[in-house]
Structure 1
Amino acid sequence: MEAFLFSTGIVALGEMGDKTQLLALMLAARFRKPAPIILGIFVATVLNHAAAGAVGGWVAQALGPNVLRWVIGLGFLAMAAWMLIPDKLDEEETSGTQRFGVFGTTVVAFFLAEMGDKTQIATVALAARYTGELVAVVMGTTLGMMLANVPAVFLGDAVAKKVSMTLVHAIAAGIFAVLGILTLLNVGRLF
């Protein structure tokens, strides 16, 4: 249960103000059809995070616990720094909307936008940290994505204008930094 809850919280917080959340806002404003957009986000996230989780599990087995502790600790510190860099939505990620329909466009755009994104890298790290709990991690990271993006689909710009993304990113960066330091110091039940 810890892997699921922790993965959910980390990704939900990390996703705030992320380019995929901006993509959700843009798709909602363009198509005004929340159901296929939400379903598309879900399918793309499950596929992307399952692949990322599998990579994380492989990394955990290949490196061993000592090296893995350093890789994950430094990875969390890198994520903390990355959280402080605001995302921008690339126009090419939303091309092809006529060919695939609302659902297909959302799946393709979200899957591609998540490639190498903070939340995908976090999923790799979480799967490596919670070795043997791949399903819980993927379910948690997927729920985290949905918690951040579904409101964006329904509420659009109103939320973005009221919530300080700088503050959200700073809180997320602080959490990642603390996790990185605790992992490097081998504090608690991290490994």
Structure 2
Amino acid sequence: MDSLLISTGVVALAEMGDKTQLLAFFLAARFKKPISIILGILAATIINHGLASALGAWITSMVNPEVLRWILGVSFIGMAIWALIPDKIEEEETQVAKHLGVFGATFITFFFAEMGDKTQLATIALAAHYAAPLAVVMGTTLGMLIADVPAVFVGNQFAAKIPMKLIHSIAAAIFAIMGVLTLLEVDKLF
């Protein structure tokens, strides 16, 4: 249950101000078809984070636990630093919509926008840390939806009211704490 709850919370916070959340704002403002956009986000996230979680599980099976602990600890601390850097949406990621429907455009742009994104890397690290890939995918997908669905329905009006610097700082703090706790092997104390 920890893997589900922590994955949800970490990704929901990390997604605030992320380029895929900005993409959700952009698509909602442009197409005004929230259900198609949300379904595209859901499908892209499940597949993208499913692959990321499988990679995390594979890494767990291939890497010595002591080495993995250091990799994960340093990775979480790196994500803490990265969470403090705001993302910008790239226009070419949204051009796919001219050739596909709203669902297809959302699916394709979200899937590729998530490649190498901090939430995808967090999914890999969380799956490796918890060795519970399905729970992590469920949690990270729920976290994405918690952050992106309101963006779809409220659009840019909502973005101006969120204290993004505070949200990014909280996400960074959570990643940093997870990194330190992983390095100190705190989970073995309980």
Query: Which TM-score applies when normalising by structure 2?
Result: 0.97
Counterpart in the other structure of 1:171: 170
Paired residues of 2:96 and 2:108 also in contact (CA < 8 A): no
Distance in 2 separating the partners of 1:185 and 1:174: 16
Q: Which amino acid letter does the alignment assign opposite residue 83 of structure 1?
A: A
Give the aligned residue type for 1:31.
Answer: F
**Alignment length (residue pairs):** 190
Q: How does 1:125-140 map to 2 (within 5 A)?
A: 125-131=125-131, 133-140=132-139
Deviating more after overlay: 156-165 vs 42-51: 156-165
SS in 1 for 2:17: coil
Compute the displacement of 1:123 (Å). Answer: 0.1
CA drift of 1:36 comes to 0.3
Residues 129 and 190 in structure 1, CA contact (< 8 A), matched pair in contact too: no
Question: Paired residue for 2:91?
Answer: 91
1:126-155, CA deviations, whole angstroms, 9 ceiling, x for partnerless residues?
A: 000111x11111011000000000000001
Separation in structure 2 between the aligned mates of residue 29 and residue 112 of structure 1, nearest angstrom: 20
Give the Cα separation in 1 of the matches to 2:6 and 2:175: 12
**Alpha-carbon distance in structure 1 between the residues aligned to 2:188 and 2:140:** 21
Aligned match of 2:53: 53
| Residue segments in structure 1 that go unaligned for 5+ positions in a row | none
Query: Do the aligned residues in 1 keep the contact of 2:96 with 2:109 (CA within 8 Å)?
Result: no
Distance (whole Å) between structure 2 residues aligned to residue 144 and residue 182 of structure 1: 22
Structural mapping, 1:35-50, within 5 Å? 35-50=35-50
The percentage of counterpart residues that share the same residue type is: 61
Query: 1:155: which partner in 2?
Result: 154
Match of 2:4 in 1: 4
Whole-angstrom distance in 1 between the partners of 2:64 and 2:161 = 45
Q: 1:15 touches 1:21 (CA, 8 Å); kept in 2? A: yes
My pick for the range that moved more, 105-114 or 57-66, is 57-66
* Equivalent in the alignment of 2:14: 14
Question: Structure 2 regions of 5+ residues with no counterpart?
Answer: none
Query: Amino acid of the residue matched to residue 73 of structure 1?
Result: G
After TM superposition, give the deviation of residue 189 of structure 1 in Å. Answer: 4.0
User: Which amino acid in the other structure matches residue 81 of structure 2?
Assistant: A
Root-mean-square deviation (CA, aligned residues, Å) is 1.2
CA distance in 1, matches of 2:62, 2:102: 40
TM normalised by structure 1 equals 0.97
